Structure 1
């Protein structure tokens, strides 16, 4: 493909939050409430917004609903911070179409997870991103997430896509830190690399990742930003350790279900947190993910208070 140089400078440094999608009691997205989380996040001082990621429950949404959320999210952001719009789909055709729609609507950049379920080959996945790059001019961030796609691209594949101008950055959502370090080193600071899983935020930011996009920034953004500032800006390792020790119990609670296959589900933790902190209008996850069991609410409230977010334990 012909190389297109994209402005990676449009991709922010720092803490980027994934905005959630509110659902009504019938399980349909409530577009009128999309702004609630976005407004709160911007007031909390985040560096960017990423709608329609995992936290936006994109697999639960029809194509037309995704378009509506693109529009509602951009209207809510209103240019206050950069917007990294999730435009993922299994098919290249649908991904390209939604990517073009998001670009036309005014998104700053795109966040695109590899095609999932059918597990295309590495070459086919790379061609998927090349096709998107041919269709749009704005930056594309590859959402590297083996657990949810079973797609394993090599670090050299990611660097090749960047060298071609197909991608401008990577959201690294994998608990393996060593290849993340290789990616940071290999890109020589020319490509934006974000930590995308909370459990390796400390390692990734201390090694030079440009930002952090994951669950914790979306629910306790000031606490996430405090860690980023200490590690990436002030380079104060002792102070950063203190911030991380405060956050780590919440991180472990958030992901306990992933380790065991039981409750709590990480996204139930997220939405219950936002119901506690913003209000019940945020709502529950789309089924089959169910709300956080009531017996876990008090523990969650304690963990939130410990990182500077006092919360009532009666959030739903």
Structure 2
């Protein structure tokens, strides 16, 4: 296998999937949301990841979401689709489906729940990588219950032409500059957290991908441009409204999930928020009022957030 050269980078929202109030996949609303993110200037989108609730879909629904995402992208920006499932066979099926649909790449999560060992995880990626679609490793040990794929293993998988990128959703950012040292620039490093994109981008990450970007593409672009200009002071200023939004995500910790908060903020912006699929729930009316009040308070302290920016 040969390495694919794809210059993925910048601001990549981890797009929400929209469901109806009764739990059906809302195809029109999902397409509309993806297109809205692109219209705001997103450099690319990732669809069908954690924020996209792939874990709550049937295999057939997951495949359909991949088709919707590619159609919504209209070849304007890279569309990387979640094509990983627990089994290797289903991951291969979805990655082949994504390739045929015209996706730019596949995001393949570590096999989850059963705690596969290192040999099993690496064999999984080599098997899925044989499809030939550029692959992004979704390194998220907190959700997958597997050990993180190490810097050394990622570098070897890339050198062998198996994977092209990583979404690093770890509690630390040191892996960013470690990967930059261990790989060449054809390996694309995506910071996947919510708390430290400034540090990650300054440390050499090519891109930031997060569910937070469902409601903050323009602000994230400001941060990206400041880092690209090596303007640390402007980067700190650009981070402030993002930090305020990140704080809002955490105000219901233990009472409501981050996806519910993103949907609540979309509602405040006047955008269709959609629903998550049960067991995930929307904010209660009382929680939504609290979010509205807290959001209004942030506008007294920082740059206003507007869906039209």
Q: Find runs of 4+ consecutive structure 1 residues off by over 6 angstroms.
A: none
2:281 to 281, 290, 294: 290
**Conservation of the 8 A alpha-carbon contact between 1:37 and 1:278:** no
Q: Quick one: structure 1 residues 112 and 234, their matched pair in 2 at CA, closer, same or farther if it must change by over 3 Å?
A: same
Per the normalisation by structure 2, the TM-score is 0.92
- SS of match in other structure, 1:56: coil
* Residues 1:279 and 2:271 aligned together: yes
Larger helix proportion of the pair? 1
* Residues 1:71 and 2:67 aligned together: yes
Q: Quick one: structure 1 residues 64 and 304, their matched pair in 2 at CA, closer, same or farther if it must change by over 3 Å?
A: farther
Deviation at 1:294, TM superposition (A): 2.3
Q: Quick one: structure 1 residues 67 and 278, their matched pair in 2 at CA, closer, same or farther if it must change by over 3 Å?
A: farther
- 2 CA distance for matches of 1:98 and 1:307? 41
Deviation at 1:289, TM superposition (A): 1.8
Partner of 2:92: 96
Q: Quick one: structure 1 residues 179 and 101, their matched pair in 2 at CA, closer, same or farther if it must change by over 3 Å?
A: same
Partner of 1:220: 216
Deviation at 1:221, TM superposition (A): 0.1
**Paired residue total:** 301
- 1 CA distance for matches of 2:163 and 2:297? 37
Deviation at 1:33, TM superposition (A): 1.8
Q: Which runs of 5+ in 2 are unaligned?
A: none
* Residues 1:6 and 2:3 aligned together: yes
1:164 to 156, 160, 166: 160
* Residues 1:124 and 2:120 aligned together: yes
Aligned-pair Cα RMSD in Å:
1.7
Q: CA offsets, 1:27-50, max 9 Å, x none?
A: 111112221111111110011011
Deviation at 1:200, TM superposition (A): 1.7
Deviation at 1:254, TM superposition (A): 1.5
**Conservation of the 8 A alpha-carbon contact between 1:8 and 1:169:** no
- 1 CA distance for matches of 2:112 and 2:204? 29
Per the normalisation by structure 1, the TM-score is 0.90
Instruction: Describe how 1:182-261 pairs up with structure 2 within 5 A.
Output: 182-231=178-227, 233-257=228-252
Q: CA offsets, 1:187-218, max 9 Å, x none?
A: 24231001100212111001111011112222
Q: Which runs of 5+ in 1 are unaligned?
A: 312-316
Q: CA offsets, 1:103-152, max 9 Å, x none?
A: 00100111111000001001110110100111x22210001101101222
2:25 to 14, 26, 29: 29
